[in-house]
Structure 1
Amino acid sequence: MRRKIYLPDIIGQGYGAFWRWKGRYRVVKGSRASKKSKTAALWFIYSMMKYPEANLLVARKVYRTLQNSCYSDLCWAIHRLGVDRYWRATKSPLEIQYKPTGQKILFIGLDDPLKVTSISVPKGVLCWLWIEEAYEITNETDFDRLDESIRGQLPPGLFTQVTLTFNPWSEKHWLKKRFFDTLSPYVFTATTNYMMNEFLSNTDRVLFEEMKKNPRRYKVAGLGDWGIVEGLIYDRWEEKAFNIDSIRKKPGIKSAFGLDFGYTNDPSALFCGLVDTGAKVIYVFDEIYERGLTNQELYKRIEAAGHAKERIIADSAEPKSIEELRRCGAIHIQKSRKGRDSINYGIQQIQNFHIYVHPRCVNFITEISTYCWEKDKNDGSGTNKPVDYNNHLMDAMRYAVMDCLKGESFSFR
């Protein structure tokens, strides 16, 4: 029996032009909860059933982030459209297949460059590419390499398309200049925000209304506008691949782990670093960054990453969470200790270091590239107070590094 659905009821409003566009590029920046990723996932599932020769490649900078983002959204879209029985989704390998035709949705990360150049499909054409959180791709040539992988002779009626969705943290990102500052007949761009999402609950909307108290945060996380980055706090950093085991073997290297708690609106953020106090270098080699985790789930993430036995310095404002993690097995977790003017003092100490960030630490890169001093509301001049948003790993780094530098007697919150 054929089931009829009315797409606007499933998708909602505000994305009609996005849905109909068949040009080479669809580029959508937006706030959290603007339903940009969910709408993209719905379009891909619907359209693959419509075009029997089409295959999709889904990419993010780091492969391990795909399962809990794009893969989950696509599985959600399958269920939302009521077509579960026609699709097969597997986690090993990470793949989704449309059973009636054998079309596939494949997943890759830019941290595996060999896969980018060797990707292929057994049936039809690999004609669509979805890059989620495209802001994570800091090197434009990495995008070009992905873009060039979507090619080939197309059957009549089919089209090649690259879809990019992301949160616009910084106006200095290459995405702005390439897609938003220059008009092109091959490019569709849109800015979306939470007000376009009619499926949000009243509780969700209240969170955004409260965000208006912080205009700088609201502009980006609420309205989806470009973040204006002035007065960066840390400028001595660079993204660089390095061998973690080799760094660990250097004399005088100390491990530094810091944890900032979150749940609904903010993520739980674990900073994982190595500190060379003599050379004044910090190596950032791993991170956990996820919303909606209970303390038990957070511990499982930490354990799976191999960090459960490390000395972790956690936000002292959450003693209950610290105790729960300790009972789960993080026996060396410690609370940070408050000190006078501890935030600014910690920042000043870290500014003495050069920071190398491993490319897989995409959330750390986003935060450190946008972490800046607050401006005075009256005259726009700089203050000595850091902007209090998108700073979860920055806080976690401060807990960890200050503990590493000062020893057990003096760690700062």
Structure 2
Amino acid sequence: MEKEVNPHFEDFLFDWNQKFQFLVGGYGSSKSYHVALKIILKLISEKRTALVVREVYETHKDSTFSLFTEIVEEMGLLDDSGRKNIAKGKIRPKESPYELRFFNGSKIIFKGMDKPAKLKSINNISIIWLEECSEIKYSGFKELLGRLRHPSLKLHMILSTNPVGEDNWTFKHFFKDDRNKRLVLDDRELYEKRTIVVKDTYYHHSTADDNLFLPESYIAQLDEMKEYDPDLYRIARKGHFGVNGVRVLPQFVEMPHDEVMAAIENIRKPIKRVGMDFGFESSYNAIIRMVVDHDKKYLYIYWEYYKNQMTDDLTAEEIKEFKETKELIKADSAEPKTIKYYRQLGFNMVGAKKYKGSRLQYTKKIKRFKKIICSDQCTNTVYELKDLTYALDKNGDIILDEFSIDPHTLSAIWYGLDDYEVADLKEKSAKRVRPSRERR
């Protein structure tokens, strides 16, 4: 049997050494084609049952099922005889439900995560392919791992996807999770080396340049994206993960804690502030200690408290240092009862100003800092703010006071700086200087 394939995928087709195989690439790179071909070749040589999964079952018709059928026809393996038994060396596709049956008893079945009950009856699956795995939930991925079992055959899971945002579970699981300080592989290393093995995972990166069967006009279309949609160009043409959307705080940087504290020590007139956002069930109690360098227009964030499902009495016990230091805490004024409770316990806490449009005004204020420098010990602040992007409306336009996540640390910063106004501070400074000049 002879089959022409793209050279970048030749080794991948016959490499079954690792349990996990993660393929990421740009549009038209032919990764899905070669995954399907790989599975066909494996099931011809060994009697196995493979499961192909997408988030929505019906999408198999025009994607994976159609792709497998096309490859089977190309290879001259299609059994369309209509006889009860499949002809030797042939493969028979069937619909309702989608399935491919092989002459040797192997079969490929297709399922969707939108119908989880259908997965429970599946047994003896030794290969699972998650196509467009970034669309599947992390909980779904973990559930499928439990479905991957066979008494004797080696188990394999293949995952393929176009790159998405670094907040997607695929990036956090297979590359790095900043929030939990977990690093498996720097994605930049994969883009450089193209294929890498890390423990029991084989990584493969591809772009349209790796597909020798693509017309030049298609690649030209991808190149044009650089001018009108940089995010899509990064995904579609370069096949790179990244931050999708417009960053809210592009001047945000993370620095080692000792360096942040040393910089704060050198501020001529530091302006210290503390802000607090309240939360309980799915939101968080977030407290941020920060310092403003008014001369440089720098904001330093050096301490955080970040917990949920904490009653007020337990939180008060954990942050009792504020009661001892008498630091002023500016908190969410939408919770006057909570603020009163803390004040009764001896905390120096007041409500921050909140008014119609305050979210937008507070965000604009924070964006005016030339630099926002955060200690690497404030892991939740880094996680929420480093790659925070604006939410989009139905037309794809950014909403200036809504974000991709609910950033509790940003709310705490808003409240802590509610009385910090550049114009007011300049005016007060000028008023203090003028009399001293007159005395001279």
- Name the CA distance, whole Å, in 2 between partners of 1:27 and 1:170: 16
Q: 2:242 aligns with which of 201, 222, 227?
A: 227
- Name the CA distance, whole Å, in 2 between partners of 1:190 and 1:104: 26
Q: 1:172 aligns with which of 167, 174, 182?
A: 167
Describe how 1:11-410 pairs up with structure 2 within 5 A: 11-19=5-13, 20-51=15-46, 53-85=47-79, 86-98=90-102, 100-120=103-123, 125-137=124-136, 139-154=137-152, 158-181=153-176, 182=184, 184-213=198-227, 214-229=229-244, 231=246, 394-395=394-395
For residues 280-306 of structure 1, give each alpha carbon's deviation from its aligned partner in whole angstroms, at most 9, with x where no partner exists.
xxxxxxxxxxxxxxxxxxxxxxxxxxx
Amino acid at match of 2:208: Y
Between 1 and 2, higher relative CO (CA 8 Å, sep ≥ 6) is seen in 1
**CA positional deviation for 1:396:** 8.6
Query: Gapped runs of 5+ residues in structure 2?
Result: 80-89, 177-183, 186-197, 249-358, 361-369, 372-388, 399-440
For residues 210-251 of structure 1, give each alpha carbon's deviation from its aligned partner in whole angstroms, at most 9, with x where no partner exists.
223243321111111003135479xxxxxxxxxxxxxxxxxx
Report the CA distance shift for 1:209/1:231 in structure 2 as closer, same or farther (over 3 A): closer
Q: What secondary structure is seen at the aligned counterpart in 1 of 2:165? A: coil
Amino acid at match of 1:82: G
Amino acid at match of 2:67: D
Quick check: which has more Rg, 1 or 2?
Answer: 2
- Name the CA distance, whole Å, in 2 between partners of 1:56 and 1:140: 20
For residues 17-54 of structure 1, give each alpha carbon's deviation from its aligned partner in whole angstroms, at most 9, with x where no partner exists.
42213311001111110100011111111111011x21
Q: Conserved in 2, the CA contact under 8 Å of 1:168 and 1:225?
A: yes
Q: Conserved in 2, the CA contact under 8 Å of 1:22 and 1:159?
A: no
- Name the CA distance, whole Å, in 2 between partners of 1:187 and 1:14: 18
Q: Conserved in 2, the CA contact under 8 Å of 1:191 and 1:225?
A: no
Report the CA distance shift for 1:31/1:45 in structure 2 as closer, same or farther (over 3 A): same
Task: State the identity as a percent.
Answer: 27
Amino acid at match of 2:16: W
Q: Conserved in 1, the CA contact under 8 Å of 2:48 and 2:105?
A: no
- Name the CA distance, whole Å, in 1 between partners of 2:21 and 2:214: 24
Report the CA distance shift for 1:201/1:136 in structure 2 as closer, same or farther (over 3 A): same
Q: Conserved in 2, the CA contact under 8 Å of 1:180 and 1:189?
A: no
What TM-score results when the alignment is normalised by the length of structure 1? Answer: 0.51
Q: Conserved in 2, the CA contact under 8 Å of 1:95 and 1:104?
A: yes
For residues 352-380 of structure 1, give each alpha carbon's deviation from its aligned partner in whole angstroms, at most 9, with x where no partner exists.
9xxxxxxxxxxxxxxxxxxxxxxxxxx99
Report the CA distance shift for 1:64/1:24 in structure 2 as closer, same or farther (over 3 A): same
For residues 86-129 of structure 1, give each alpha carbon's deviation from its aligned partner in whole angstroms, at most 9, with x where no partner exists.
1111111211111x222211111111111122213xxxx42000
**CA positional deviation for 1:397:** 11
Q: Conserved in 1, the CA contact under 8 Å of 2:231 and 2:245?
A: no
Q: Conserved in 2, the CA contact under 8 Å of 1:179 and 1:189?
A: no
Q: Conserved in 1, the CA contact under 8 Å of 2:36 and 2:67?
A: yes
